[in-house]
Structure 1
Amino acid sequence: MAALAWLLIPLLAAIGAGLWGSWANRTRSTRSDGPELDGYARFRKAMEKQP
């Protein structure tokens, strides 16, 4: 019975990690890359102006 309890610990940890991973990916997917791409475009334009 004690071995079964020790096997449940990694199982619960894996389930918790899967739930956290799906939640973290869900909140991150709503962000867009717009501001980063705009900043990169401004950087490229500034670099092209210099001799």
Structure 2
Amino acid sequence: MAVLAWLLIPLFAAIGAAIWGSWASRDRTIGDIAELNGYARFRDAMERAHSGSGRF
């Protein structure tokens, strides 16, 4: 029984590594596009706030 346990440990580790690897390599470009759009809106708002005041 102890031999079976020692054989199952690497099996579970390999399965866990495969799951983590597939999760880590997922396509995350959809979230990046939303973040970049939000940053562009922020930049535009900051330019508008500074352009009308006449001060630094």
TM over 0.5: yes
TM-score, length-scaled by structure 2: 0.59
Structure number with bigger Rg: 2
Structure number with the higher helix fraction is: 1
Query: Structure 2 matches for 1:23-38, cutoff 5 A?
Result: 23-26=22-25, 28-29=26-27, 31-32=28-29, 33-38=32-37
Sequence identity percentage:
38
Larger RCO (alpha carbons 8 Å, 6+ apart): 2
- Gaps in structure 2 of 5+ consecutive residues: 51-56
Alignment partner, residue 40 of structure 1: 39
Report how many residues are paired: 48
TM-score, length-scaled by structure 1: 0.62
Aligned-residue CA RMSD in angstroms? 1.9
